[in-house]
Structure 1
Amino acid sequence: MRRDMVDIMEMAENQGRASGEYSEMWSGSYREGFRLKESDIDIMFWPNDHRVIWDLSQSQYYNTHGQTLILCDCSDSPPGFTLLYLLSPSRNQVIQGACVRVNSEYYISSSEYRMIWCSATLPDSIPHGPCVSGVISGGAEYEFAHCFVSDFWPPSASSWIDRCHSWPKPHIANEIVKNGCHFVPVGHKLGRHEHNEWRISFSFAEHKLVYAMNHCQFLTYGLLKLFLTEIINNGLSDEDKLLCSYHMKTAVFWVIQQNTLQQWCPQNLLECFWNCYKLILKWVYDRVCPNFFIPQNNMFLSKVHGEAQHQLFIRLYGLYENGLAFLLHSPSIRSCNINVLYNPRLSICTNENTLISETRFDKELWREIHTIIIIVVMGISCVNRVVDLCGFYVTCLHTIEQMIDLPLLTQYQVVMLQKLTAIVIQKTAFILHIATYTNENKLWYRADKISCHMVKLAAKFGCITDMLYIAMYYYKTLGYMEALSIIEMIKVKLAQPYVMYLSNVDTKMYTEAVGGQSWSTKIKKAVDRDIQLDNDIHYINELVPEQQSALQNSRPSLRIPLFVLLYMLEILCYRHVDTSRIQTALDDLQTLVHHDQGQLIPLLYRDISWQILGICQQVTGNLQAALYSYQQSLRHEPFHKIQTTTEMRIQETCHRLLN
């Protein structure tokens, strides 16, 4: 399910980009289907109008008027690394700005390229290896790698093709070779041109190989990852960690391809793990970890050597002498049924249908959709400098329309496209309203009718939360009574005991109400999430200063708890139609913000929640309470980067109190 969701979103992103300047590929353990604590979200971006070639004869396959070619120069680099020589000046200012002179020729410097993109990403991002790293809401880490692509398989990896006799299957191997490779901006630490070299990346090949694993092979890979993080690297700083997840993945690849096991099945899970562990132990002893695609690239060369290597081997060998019981040092493994460690003949249940309830699976599904949407907004913000937002979203809708007719779409991909459709229609409606604002009543009325119809249509595709966009639209167009009517409808739906919000749900009620029904039905009837307001689009005038402040700090959106925004809209509407009911709504909002323990307001969203409470108190004339709320907003983690606006509101409130 997780893989299907990422696959369809990646496809939609690449087919629907308005400018077409960049393509993307999700990679790493998140793409592979893991959701462990260390499973960060890796996305690679590369310019479509630049292609890397291995020799000049390959230039015949390109139109050099539309493509800028880059030539690999591996002559003075360690195996698996290369210099990138720009054959002609690039129209891309970032690429041109990263060029340096090496041996009288212009090459693209990996360190310069990485530094330029780091400064262009979110303000709290930091360089990490070849990537730009940071944290999104919920604590998940992301890593964006800005790279280049080659349509050709590296000559230095030709031996890999010859090894593919039993695994992977020929059609998978052919697809991998046909898609070439990538180049990520990091050099070899022992190379002569460390700051200018690029590492050859096989990320596409790797996720295809992981997809090609059977269930036991994937479980073995996961077991190795837990062993690494919870036993070997537990408590170590990044500098002291000699082994990484990529070494574990490489070991599984080699063991599968060398076919050293009779059968990869759950009953043999511990034997499979043991074989991989012994291979890693041998690598550490020999100080050689051969890259799976380019064996000449010894991935231990720059770090696993000397006293550090000796101590690591002693530790690993000590665990080896203790046997499989050392896995009990892993909290994740220890929390499971451990009888199998003492009696390996016991069978191991790995059937998710019996291990995971319908409600838990649905929680995971909605969480996946939510997280992927957040990352997509970040990706658009960091790579696509979209000017014509309306045209961009129209292109997205056209792309979704084409994808709906694709054969073999899974049920997970359909519900992902359903949610994506709702989001795109909502955004288009608000942009269309702004873009068609005119003094001509007839034209305005027509545009307003279309936009209003669009937000209503989006609510039919989306979850209960999406109805709130209808209320926002009515408020924006002065339809206060209509907005209040929608708010009352939402309250009735939210009051149902089976509604799932932020993964909080009454399992029994949820199962009785929507158990066994389609996800399209569930998402419309029983699912809620927080509200995402893109900072490029103005939804509520009272929040525009917060959006501008966040946008100046490269925050692409405000993420507002559903109930906070619901009460805010109610207060703002009552201010225009029935002031006697404002205080009740304000009391509800104040009680929620003051006393919620993370059930309805996630900790990361408390800055914006206190801010909204302050705005509502200020517009209703309670300046002293508003001042206190703004001060509380500053005391919480500045996730939304709205401190500038908060300080401005504090100054304005103090000025009004003094006068």
Structure 2
Amino acid sequence: MNLNCVFIINGSHKEGFRIEESDVDWMIWSKHHRVFWTLSQAQDNNSSKQTQMLADCSESPPGFALLQLIKTKSCESILETIVKMNDKFYISSSLHKKKQCSEYGHAFKIHGPCVSGEIDHVEYDSAYCFACNFWPPSASSWTERCHFWPPSQTVNDIVKTGCHFVAIGSKQGNHEDIEWRISFSLAEHKLVFSMNHFQFLTYNLLKLFLREVINKTIEENKLLSSYHIKTAVFWAIQNNVFPRLRPKNFLKCFWMCFKVILKWVYEGYCPNFFIPENNMFHTKIFGATQNKLFVKLYSLYEKGVLLCILESPSIKSYTLFFPYIHNFSSGTKENALISRAELEREVFTKILAYNAVLIPNLTFCLRVLDSIEQLIGEPLKEIQVVQLQRATVSVLQNTPFILHSWFNSSDYFLLNLSCNTERKNNRQMYVIDKISMNMLKFTDKFGCITDMLYIVMYFYKTCRNTEASTCLKMIDVKIEKLHSRRNSNVDTNSAEEHSWSMNFRKLLPMSFRLSNKISYIMELMIEQHCSLQNNKPYLYISSFVLFLMLKFLNNKHVDIRRSQEALDYLQIITDQGQEFFIEKHTRDISWQILGICQQISGNPQAALYAYKQALKVDPCNDIQIATQKRILNVEACIRSGFYKKN
């Protein structure tokens, strides 16, 4: 055994679990290798015997870092794993694993960040890592969250322990072979040891349920791991979602954590406990795989906690467990878990609120509207009523555009070959338009001011500029009215103040979300198509920018003066870049829209400037290819003299 290295048992064995067929995990690191976050830390810990590395997170996703070598001995074996990038030397995680694997021989192979193999019929996973005695800056928010759990002494011990770097990079980054993942294994052991008896039992039960039920029913590779289970328990304890920890509440604790996991799988986002920005599902649970896993977990959920937990053979074999089941099932209505019907309403309304417009399909929209009708009159909670309203508004806002596209598509033409007379087609178009307008007018009763922009877009799309202009003026009047209320010095009672404050929130520059699968206006189709090709389901636009764009486009046909005013105002707020008007994640599309408007107005130089600015800001909407296409188009028009002719 190398005396210069530290060997620590990791994983389930370290936490006290003795599950059959489970492997043994080791963490191994050298005493003479140290990682620092700043050069000052390295200088303060200067030692002639140490190899020093500097962690650089600037080019890596959350939870990962590059390790820059800043000091070493010429005879160090670590020199074999160095790569040069941008005139700096970095330790390659992939080369590091290959080196360790070659020292073990052919019987061992690389498994994630570990070298995996079998000795005397026991499987071993050894993670050769680097230690850092300092707490990561990216995890500084964790210490601020620890109000309820863990105890302050445990928090201090964890921060003093620091972290480690294990040899695996992020698939979503640009340096997967070089990157290292920040590991909090020692901190997690301290958290497990700080659990009380019933919290630890809940954790144990979930691990057993994962092994015997969840991972037995999934045909693909084991998507959920015990680390995801542990993370769910940590979040549940820290957020104090557990009921009072007594034997009869044992199943409720299990069910609470199971619902947390179900929610994460549904959303496709599992936040790391120490660095929440690190989504641990990102490269493993997404798309069709995510949907399949959610269906499996939800089918278990539908059985209810009793039948669900008895799917585990080990649990079912213990008759001593049934008294807890009896206590759980005989609880009062107030203490009972959320009913199946209530959960269906909750999950369904969230699906409607966030994903309804992802599927531009008339059949789906009709099914959603029918389901909404069934939920009306149900005993919903206040938050569920709000979710249902927003879901209804979302579906009704997008259905008219889907209807319009369908009516003008080849599918509709093939279905109506017998209806070849212009009169019949006009009559059908009139009916569809009437239905669409009724939908949009209905959303105006429940939506906020910015939701009226859907009506404006529909009028503009159907070439009704006068109606669109009237609607834009109504938005102006409503905004002015809310501003005057906000700025008035008239004394009002608390109820009115609350009402006004709620109304004023509608003026905030919340980003406007357009589904990339639905055609709203022709001017943004290139950007939507480009964003969709980059796997972005939505185009996020500042509500204020979209309002000014529609005002400019529509008034080009109605009032030239108002059109120019809107363009000038759009130029000012885009140049200033105030986050009150333009949020950070909408800056690229804001410059893009300014360029589109300048190009339409016949100002190619201003359009080129705006497009080039769009390429400089964060590409949150992934529309760079669309921007480059528009730049080439403007330059071609300038060379051909198109703007001079016009």
TM-score (norm 2): 0.49
Q: Which has the larger radius of gyration?
A: 2
TM-score (norm 1): 0.48
